[in-house]
Chains A and B, each alone.
Chain A
């Protein structure tokens, strides 16, 4: 089973926004929102010892996504290959997942009113194509592949070159978009663009910690209770066809 991941080399990236425009066009992402976006740290330091860096981010398809538990309808889920998806048919646009994502990778589409985000171009992957952002990157700075495949470029960059995860004290949930960069560069982008604390609105917290487990238990118990009653009927010989 593949485990998909991406590596972005900030030493090569020039922050040109080719990837974000390609993604936007590929997926009809409305202006004002993004599935992937480019930030710039701006110039830091004292003249002439200066540093600056672009920073590109998107949904990280994390090992332990914080966006999935708060979803009240099950619209968002994770595949075995790691891709975290949103099913628009089940999404009610409540936004609990948007609040929960420490990377602010999700947005509510103002037209469809459903949540949307990067899905590693799953449709393209099925056709044997790479994600649109990777294909168009002018600096060949984005890499995509299977972490389970020792021959893949992402395996080599993560385990061979030590590509780095964007985590901090706010969130360490195992993002699968890794970064390469000069040491000071990575420090700076972590400082400026590191994840925030995931936010669970009280209804979301209530839902995921109390109400959902309760309903599960209640439905499960009713199901079992009913099954026992039914088979008792059958055992006692009451006619099951007698409606």
Chain B
């Protein structure tokens, strides 16, 4: 017996194979790639812009041959985000493929709030809406329609509503967000701040954040510039009652007592002036009111501020001196959401004045200048003359924006039928219940309406109150108006174009607006046939074809230097033509011409001030139903000071409910016990505790900060709703937890800790100013 050659070779091969396997070497020809790399199926990369939040970073939609979206990447051509994209943008495909999204037009089939609907055709839905709008116009006038838009996609609708003739367009961007900031800076410099905040991160030597929490508040472009500035050695001062992500990277963290930031700002101004650390040349050449300011702040010493803010006086001096040393390359971040206490326009004034004293406005490392971009409007019939506004912008709130409106003012007007009845709300891309404080009031106002239409992508709580719900296509499925970004070293235009075809029966906003226009006999306002035609015209100012835009996604505009040229005369759009440290305009309106510290009511013992903010995993109340983002963070937590928790015998991770000063009780919410927050406040991420059962993943997860905001302090100058004036105590198993010395029941303070309230001016009907082209979010 022997071994045949064949047998030998066979056995040899087997043994070699076995040895090879045992040796963990890569064998020739075996499949190396794990299944699932999207890159292999990718056939097309379509540039567009995100809309998970309003920063609209550039994206590339990767689609396969069937037109399915595989993955969203950042678009490297986008000057701000530079090809990068945050967690929410990266999870955008889960909005597109969210099983709970709105799919068909729906008409209410039960009581308001019941959430019973019947599906109707677009034809029927649009006919119904046009009929209602015509009816209301005939019986009550076009001003009886309140319009709640949001986003660049809303422009088609805003245009339609102006053509229809209502003046009452209101966006939360002003009165629930940055309004007071823009008012304060506009009074000082003649320009509001705009978007994004034009802080010159690239050249700054010192960043100063008042409450700004970049890193949890994630706008890709800003996080990038912030991180690069830190890498280059820029220093950072963070003023925040909470040890935020930004605070963890700060050279100075000032855990300011909530409500007292203005005192700190005034003390900084005091040090800069008294120690001659301000930019004397700049101040002399470009500002007025310095002598009044110097006199005004002479008693606002660090010692004075220290008692109020609970920040040591040496720290106040140290940080002021550092600003003085590193000026003008000091970037005082103007903030974004600033509607905190109802004293916010004046706090913004203090920040603007500080910026001016440092000579950093229009200088490298400070605040650079914005520049508009030529993007001509499509020719259209002229708007009819619109009746006076009902929301108080320009009247009750003298510096309230007549472009963006005062949302809460319109809610009040609807509820009180003052100055006239509002019979209809058209809500386009806003979440009126989650974004406007005092949601119960909003719901009572809705009861006054004859007709409420909601045009949206997701069935949020407000859809349960609507008479008509129209499913808009998501940002990944549609063209929108051109995005123009003024605040960039090189301002640019960006295109939103469809990455995939609209799913179900969802339609883009431009189509809905055009179809409604036809039925309302307003076709003259929509003289373009296709969005491509419209966009081609908008792009003509930049000399870029739509075809090129569709390929690149971005077109930059070279506007020269973003800083002031001091060899030329510089004029500011203020009454005096100079930077106004002292504001005569404010004085004439009956307000303090220079900011003073106005104390806010403090929470009584046992109660904590409710603070709120952002998480990098969620955007407002939009993303809580997103499969990926929900898996990462299904609920919010409430941050509680560790020493307080110890006293109350509470553990990290336990569930409690929160009860506010009016007895409003929240959902149960998980505790995050930490040393990283002061003992007089608690903090929650906004947007949870959602009540729409149609959003299955988000339903009742976490607690709603909005519902706990049953009162606001309205800033009399701008109309902005100060929301950080609600106090909560912790309730466990139905029993309120008492700190030693705590009050039993909340009583509003009587002894003058309230800010002096101005008497509201009777709503005088004011004509709508022409050219209110303020940009929303």
Give chain B residues whose Cβ lies under 8 Å from the Cβ of A42: 674
Q: Give the docked Cα–Cα distance between A223 and B71 (Å).
A: 51
A137 near B: Cβ within 8 Å?
A: yes
Give chain B residues whose Cβ lies under 8 Å from the Cβ of A21: 87, 90-91, 628, 632
A113 near B: Cβ within 8 Å?
A: no
- A17-B616, A20-B87 in contact; A46/B675 too (CB < 8 A)? yes
A28 near B: Cβ within 8 Å?
A: yes
Q: Give the docked Cα–Cα distance between A127 and B248 (Å).
A: 38
B223 and A136 within 8 A (CB): no
Give chain B residues whose Cβ lies under 8 Å from the Cβ of A242: 2, 4
B19 and A135 within 8 A (CB): no
Number of interface residues of A (CB under 8 A): 76
- A77-B26, A226-B3 in contact; A27/B245 too (CB < 8 A)? no
Min CB distance, B189 to chain A, in Å? 30
A25 and B38 within 8 A (CB): yes
A22 and B18 within 8 A (CB): no
Chain-B contact segment, one of A68-76, A100-108, A169-177, A197-205: A68-76
Q: Give the docked Cα–Cα distance between A89 and B214 (Å).
A: 45
Closest to B215 in A: A14
Q: Give the docked Cα–Cα distance between A46 and B71 (Å).
A: 43
A76 and B24 within 8 A (CB): yes
Q: Give the docked Cα–Cα distance between A119 and B38 (Å).
A: 15
Give chain A residues whose Cβ lies under 8 Å from the Cβ of B18: 215, 219
Q: Give the docked Cα–Cα distance between A42 and B214 (Å).
A: 17
B733 near A: Cβ within 8 Å?
A: no
Q: Give the docked Cα–Cα distance between A15 and B633 (Å).
A: 13
Q: Give the docked Cα–Cα distance between A86 and B34 (Å).
A: 8
Closest to A135 in B: B83
Chain-A contact segment, one of B8-16, B167-175, B329-337: B8-16
- A21-B628, A238-B2, A243-B4 in contact; A74/B22 too (CB < 8 A)? yes
- A116-B34, A137-B84 in contact; A73/B215 too (CB < 8 A)? no
Chain-A contact segment, one of B122-130, B224-232, B353-361, B545-553: B224-232
Give chain B residues whose Cβ lies under 8 Å from the Cβ of A85: 26, 32
A31 and B26 within 8 A (CB): no
A136 and B674 within 8 A (CB): no
Give chain A residues whose Cβ lies under 8 Å from the Cβ of B39: 26, 123-124, 127
B243 and A16 within 8 A (CB): no
B93 near A: Cβ within 8 Å?
A: yes
B253 near A: Cβ within 8 Å?
A: yes
A206 near B: Cβ within 8 Å?
A: no
Contact with B along A1-17 (1 / 0, CB 8 A): 00000000101111111
Closest to B249 in A: A11
Q: Give the docked Cα–Cα distance between A50 and B40 (Å).
A: 47
Closest to B72 in A: A25
Q: Counting chain A CB atoms within 10 Å of each CB, which of B30, B34, B84 scores highest?
A: B34
Give chain B residues whose Cβ lies under 8 Å from the Cβ of A226: 3, 8, 11-12
Q: Give the docked Cα–Cα distance between A137 and B84 (Å).
A: 6
A156 near B: Cβ within 8 Å?
A: no
A22-68 residues at the B interface, CB under 8 angstroms? 22, 24-28, 31-32, 42-48, 50-54, 68
A22 and B21 within 8 A (CB): no
Give chain A residues whose Cβ lies under 8 Å from the Cβ of B678: 47
Give chain A residues whose Cβ lies under 8 Å from the Cβ of B91: 21, 25
Contact with A along B601-641 (1 / 0, CB 8 A): 00000000000000011000000000110011000000001
A141 near B: Cβ within 8 Å?
A: yes
A136 and B90 within 8 A (CB): yes
Give chain B residues whose Cβ lies under 8 Å from the Cβ of A160: none
- A51-B248, A137-B84, A229-B3 in contact; A219/B19 too (CB < 8 A)? yes
- A50-B243, A89-B30, A241-B5 in contact; A18/B84 too (CB < 8 A)? yes
Closest to B248 in A: A52
A139 near B: Cβ within 8 Å?
A: yes
Neighbour of B30 across the interface among A18, A28, A87, A141, CB < 8 A: A87
Q: Give the docked Cα–Cα distance between A79 and B2 (Å).
A: 41
Q: Give the docked Cα–Cα distance between A24 and B94 (Å).
A: 12
- 26 A-B pairs with CB atoms under 8 Å apart are A12-B227, A14-B218, A14-B223, A17-B87, A21-B628, A25-B71, A27-B37, A27-B38, A28-B35, A31-B627, A45-B675, A47-B676, A50-B248, A51-B248, A74-B21, A79-B26, A90-B21, A90-B30, A114-B34, A135-B73, A138-B84, A138-B223, A226-B3, A229-B3, A233-B3, A240-B4
Q: Which 4 A-B pairs have the closest CB atoms?
A: A14-B215, A28-B36, A43-B676, A139-B227
| B positions within 8 Å CB-CB of A | 2-6, 8, 11-12, 15-16, 18-26, 30-40, 71-74, 83-87, 89-91, 93, 214-216, 218, 220, 223-224, 226-228, 230-231, 243, 245, 248-249, 253, 255, 616-617, 627-628, 631-632, 641, 674-676, 678
